[in-house]
A and B are shown apart, each in its own frame.
Chain A
Amino acid sequence: MQAVGIRNRWIWSARILFLLPVALLFFFFFIYPFFFTVFTSFTSWRGIGAMKFNGIKNYTKLITDPTFQKALRNNIVWALSQGLIQVPLACLVAMILVRKPFGWRGLRTIYYLPNVISTVALAMVWVAIYNVDGPLNAILSGLFGMEKHNWLGNPDTALFAVIFQTVIYIGYFMIVLLASAMNIPRSLYEAAEIDGASTLVQEINITLPMLRGTLITTMTLAMAYGMRHFEATFLMTGGGPAYATTTMGIDLYLKMDALRYSEASTSGVFLIIMGTLVITLLRKLFGSSDPMSEMAQ
């Protein structure tokens, strides 16, 4: 009995020992910063000097701030564009490639290629494409006689121009959906063919239902990314003109830049709340993507 007790103690000690490094890292790089952010969001603090508790003043200021309202609206547009345009596009391409048409391997690589190129490089390329004297205006003016347009400099088109250059890069989600689609048993399609189902009917009744779990996961990831979007917009427009492309992430960064740390923390907390809300809403709308829980139902 004593030997068993010593063995159990050793096992528990080993478990704690193995978990400790990760637990410490998680505490110092996630738990502590998270609670610190929440705490500072209720203070007046410029990063230097003493913090002064100011209740919910930062939150009321944030909600009534027209710049933040624009940023929130832009993030919702981002999330919807990513979830409802990028993922369906990726799904469509995955459904085509899974049937292994001629050159599908090459196409798969081409679609994925932008995902291995740095965001900075892609952003710079698109800044050049959208330039007043750039190739996009040259093509549009050559084909349709359109006047030159300042795509990133006009508040009416800047947001959509930035979203477009992100949404068309479907490679990441396409690969995930393709991998999932390749695991659908061929027998299901063969049976459908014998029953006389067309390709479209097969896709609607076999592929899409079988991809449901992966689709919900990719949509959740895409929309969560949309809610915390920062890089491409910051590089291409810096959030301008007139805050037309500002996102909550950029708003947070600019507040830190102006040494408004407590207000930046408030934006950060709001960002977390919004992200959690989006994910919860998706779960409520589409149900769980976990196959195990689906089986249990």
Chain B
Amino acid sequence: MKNSRLIAVLLLLCLLSPLAAQGQAESGQQKEIELRWASIWVGNDSKAPAVEALVKEFNTKNAGKIKVVIEPQPDYNAYEQKVRTSLAAGQAPADIFTIKFNPTTATFYQSDLLMDFQGKLDDAWKSTFDAGSLEQSTVDGMLKSLPMETAILPIWYNMDALKSVGVNTIPATVQQMYDTFDKLKAAGIAPTSQMTGDTNAWTSMIWFSHFAVSLGGPNVWDKPFTDPAFVEAAKLIKKMIQEYSTADAVGLGAGGSGGHFLAGRTAVFSNGPWYAGRADLAATPFFDSIKIGGLPAVGEYEDIMISRLQANICAASSKDAAKEQAIVSFLKFLTSPSSIAKIAETSGAMFAIKTDYRPVNNLQKQFYDVNAAASTTAFDLEAALGSEVTLEFAQQLGALALDRISAEEFCALVDRKIEH
């Protein structure tokens, strides 16, 4: 028995010795801090090449001290799930990660796992950010995510299609808009790409946001959803889906909605600047004719552009001061105007960090011009009211478009999902 115990102890030692050796090796190389970045800007994403180059540049500059390792997250939905479940399980998804900031994800601010940048943001660093975006990202005095990518959500016009029916400019008035749409319809082209599918009825949600903000002003989202501005906006979006869209709009997803525009089946579309970098868009015969603009004001508020914080960057809090410092160093580098200019140059994306960069690509340039021309910006429905309200909006939009419920009922149903 004694012999067998001795053998067992020896076997255990043999098994554990490599682990001990590993521990020694790691403690001997404690100088370099490794930061894991769960990045969505990988693979086919238009920001991927610039981001990868920047990480390489940072790692070279900080060789032996800090090393940033990108953990690719190519599937955005799976990535969002990872962030949610990791935080719920009491773990940060990575040292650095991004979120789409809205009232739902603002819940993450309650977690101690996230670093509060409020104390880290010195005046010089703070001055590089757009003040409005910083304010929008602050919850109860905490700044647990830094605004990085922003987006405006304008309307896209295929001018080749419009010109084919004798319209040479973007409609400036509501009457011109309806006249243009009627002409397109008569020519067999579905005027707009509407949809009620997915969890946010994306393109129609953008149209609805334009209508609501024009009718109720930039602070319309603070009002109850039963407000006349929303009821009127609901009537308008219903008209768009019923009369001026494709027959499959009810139940259609974003892929289908975009597909109709790319195939030339619809003439007017809505999406953010990231769509401008798509290869299939560049391959369309009407690519050079695309004009970006707003919708004619349907209410008393004019020239308001719909916008959102597309990606806010978060970091894991750490008891290790050196690690926190390393994270701040990297984020300062990543959000510096020169780094942001490099990412913007290759992707055409828009950022909450002020840079001198101005795109040369015609389509990307239009986004900057439209943004600059807007008197002010206002959030879209999802950015303003969160994912649960947007889901209800999407689900009930189908019922509204099919005349199952009235505009008033639609607004009341969406309103019950808002936490007043």
Interface locus among A12-20, A256-264, A283-291: A256-264
Contacting residues, chain A, for B197 (C-beta < 8 A): 237-238, 240-241
- Let me know if B250 and A154 touch, CB within 8 A: yes
| Beta-carbon contacts under 8 Å, B236-272 to A | 246-253
In whole angstroms, what is the CA distance A155 to B249 when docked? 13
Are A150 and B404 also in contact (CB < 8 A) when A238-B198, A240-B394 are? no
Q: Which of A158, A258, A261 contacts B251 (CB 8 A)?
A: A158
| Beta-carbon contacts under 8 Å, B346-390 to A | 386-388
| Beta-carbon contacts under 8 Å, B66-119 to A | 84-85, 87-88, 104, 107-108, 110-111
In whole angstroms, what is the CA distance A133 to B399 when docked? 21
- Let me know if A132 and B247 touch, CB within 8 A: yes
CB of A252 closer than 8 Å to a CB of B: no
- Let me know if A258 and B398 touch, CB within 8 A: no
| Beta-carbon contacts under 8 Å, B188-216 to A | 196-199
Contacting residues, chain A, for B111 (C-beta < 8 A): 48-49
- Let me know if B402 and A155 touch, CB within 8 A: yes
CB of B391 closer than 8 Å to a CB of A: yes
- Let me know if A239 and B395 touch, CB within 8 A: yes
In whole angstroms, what is the CA distance A101 to B131 when docked? 77
Q: Which of B84, B251, B394, B405 contacts A152 (CB 8 A)?
A: B251
CB of B150 closer than 8 Å to a CB of A: no
CB of B39 closer than 8 Å to a CB of A: no
- Let me know if A260 and B248 touch, CB within 8 A: no
CB of A212 closer than 8 Å to a CB of B: no
- Let me know if A155 and B398 touch, CB within 8 A: yes
| Beta-carbon contacts under 8 Å, A245-276 to B | 254, 256-261
- Let me know if B251 and A240 touch, CB within 8 A: yes
| Beta-carbon contacts under 8 Å, B300-331 to A | none
- Let me know if B104 and A241 touch, CB within 8 A: no
- Let me know if A150 and B108 touch, CB within 8 A: no
- Let me know if A257 and B251 touch, CB within 8 A: no
How far in angstroms is the closest Cβ of chain B from A241? 3
Contacting residues, chain B, for A257 (C-beta < 8 A): 84, 199, 387, 391
In whole angstroms, what is the CA distance A261 to B247 when docked? 37
In whole angstroms, what is the CA distance A100 to B402 when docked? 50
Q: Mark A135-162, 1 if CB is under 8 A from B, else 0.
A: 0000000000000101011110010000
How far in angstroms is the closest Cβ of chain B from A215? 36
Contacting residues, chain A, for B251 (C-beta < 8 A): 150, 152-154, 158, 237, 240-241
In whole angstroms, what is the CA distance A260 to B199 when docked? 16
In whole angstroms, what is the CA distance A256 to B248 when docked? 29
| Beta-carbon contacts under 8 Å, B395-414 to A | 395-399, 402, 404-405
- Let me know if B110 and A240 touch, CB within 8 A: no
How far in angstroms is the closest Cβ of chain B from A258? 4
Are A241 and B84 also in contact (CB < 8 A) when A132-B247, A150-B250, A153-B250 are? no
- Let me know if B107 and A259 touch, CB within 8 A: yes
CB of A173 closer than 8 Å to a CB of B: no
In whole angstroms, what is the CA distance A23 to B405 when docked? 53
How far in angstroms is the closest Cβ of chain B from A32? 12
Contacting residues, chain B, for A261 (C-beta < 8 A): 88
- Let me know if A132 and B391 touch, CB within 8 A: no
In whole angstroms, what is the CA distance A131 to B198 when docked? 16
Q: Which of A48, A154, A155, A158 contacts B108 (CB 8 A)?
A: A48
| Beta-carbon contacts under 8 Å, B162-200 to A | 196-199
In whole angstroms, what is the CA distance A258 to B88 when docked? 13
- Let me know if A154 and B386 touch, CB within 8 A: no
Contacting residues, chain A, for B248 (C-beta < 8 A): 131-133, 150, 153
- Let me know if B247 and A242 touch, CB within 8 A: no
In whole angstroms, what is the CA distance A46 to B396 when docked? 25
- Let me know if B388 and A260 touch, CB within 8 A: yes
In whole angstroms, what is the CA distance A259 to B104 when docked? 7
Max chain A C-beta neighbours (<10 A), residue from B85, B387, B402: B402
Q: Which of A49, A241, A254 contacts B402 (CB 8 A)?
A: A241
CB of A42 closer than 8 Å to a CB of B: no
- Let me know if B84 and A153 touch, CB within 8 A: no
Contacting residues, chain A, for B107 (C-beta < 8 A): 46-48, 259
In whole angstroms, what is the CA distance A237 to B198 when docked? 7
Max chain B C-beta neighbours (<10 A), residue from A148, A150, A152, A153: A153
Q: Smallest CB-CB separation from B387: which chain A residue? A: A258
- Let me know if A241 and B196 touch, CB within 8 A: yes
- Let me know if A242 and B110 touch, CB within 8 A: no
Q: Smallest CB-CB separation from A260: which chain B residue? A: B388
How far in angstroms is the closest Cβ of chain A from B108? 6
Q: Smallest CB-CB separation from B80: which chain A residue? A: A257
- Let me know if A48 and B87 touch, CB within 8 A: yes
- Let me know if B250 and A258 touch, CB within 8 A: no
Contacting residues, chain A, for B396 (C-beta < 8 A): 242
- Let me know if B110 and A48 touch, CB within 8 A: yes
Are A47 and B404 also in contact (CB < 8 A) when A155-B398, A258-B391 are? no
How far in angstroms is the closest Cβ of chain B from A170? 27
- Let me know if B84 and A259 touch, CB within 8 A: yes
- Let me know if B199 and A238 touch, CB within 8 A: yes
Told that A155-B398, A254-B391, A259-B107 touch, could you supply 13 new A-B pairs with CB distance under 8 A? A47-B85, A133-B248, A150-B250, A152-B251, A153-B251, A155-B402, A238-B253, A241-B196, A241-B250, A242-B404, A258-B391, A259-B84, A259-B104
Task: Report which A residues bind B (CB closer than 8 A).
Answer: 46-49, 131-133, 148, 150, 152-155, 158, 237-243, 254, 256-261
6 contacts between A and B (CB under 8 A): A133-B247, A237-B197, A240-B196, A241-B251, A241-B395, A242-B398
